Amino acid sequence: MKALIFALFITSFSFVANAQPKPQTKTTQQATTLKDKEVEIACGECKFKMKGKSCDLAIRIDGKSYFVDGKSVDDFGDAHDEKHGFCNVISKATVTGEIVNNRFKATDIKLIAEKK
């Protein structure tokens, strides 16, 4: 009898606990669209001091850095090249895409030739 009462108590407690409203874990942010915007581009970890696990492409707009989805550091040549690699040099580029949840979803990235 005690086991039955205990089981009913636990069951009713679990129903009450599940009836509580769930907190929102992540709010979706408004997407910001960029079209042919001139930005700085480099390795986020190496040059922009962003936290990450490996060399990942990032852009910086007005002092704020965003990791890039859709392109990688090696899509533009050797990332560790002394003169042109994104892990060693911050370059300029024009980009098209969207910033969603603090990440840049790239549609197009064109590097701007360095002026001599």
* Structure confidence by residue, pLDDT tens digits, 29-75: 678 999 999 999 999 999 999 998 899 999 999 999 999 999 999 99
Q: Determine the Cα–Cα distance for residues 92 and 36; give it in Å rounded to an integer.
A: 12
Name the DSSP letter for residue 81.
-
Closest CA to 111 of 93, 95, 99: 93
Provide, for the chain, the percentages of residues in helix, strand and coil under a 3-state DSSP scheme, each rounded to the nearest 5: 20, 35, 45
* Structure confidence by residue, pLDDT tens digits, 63-99: 999 999 999 999 999 999 988 899 999 999 999 999 9
- Tell me the β-bridge partners of 69: 105
Four-CA torsion 98, 104, 106, 107, nearest 10 degrees: 0
Q: Determine the Cα–Cα distance for residues 87 and 70; give it in Å rounded to an integer.
A: 18
Q: Where are the domains of the chain?
A: 32-111
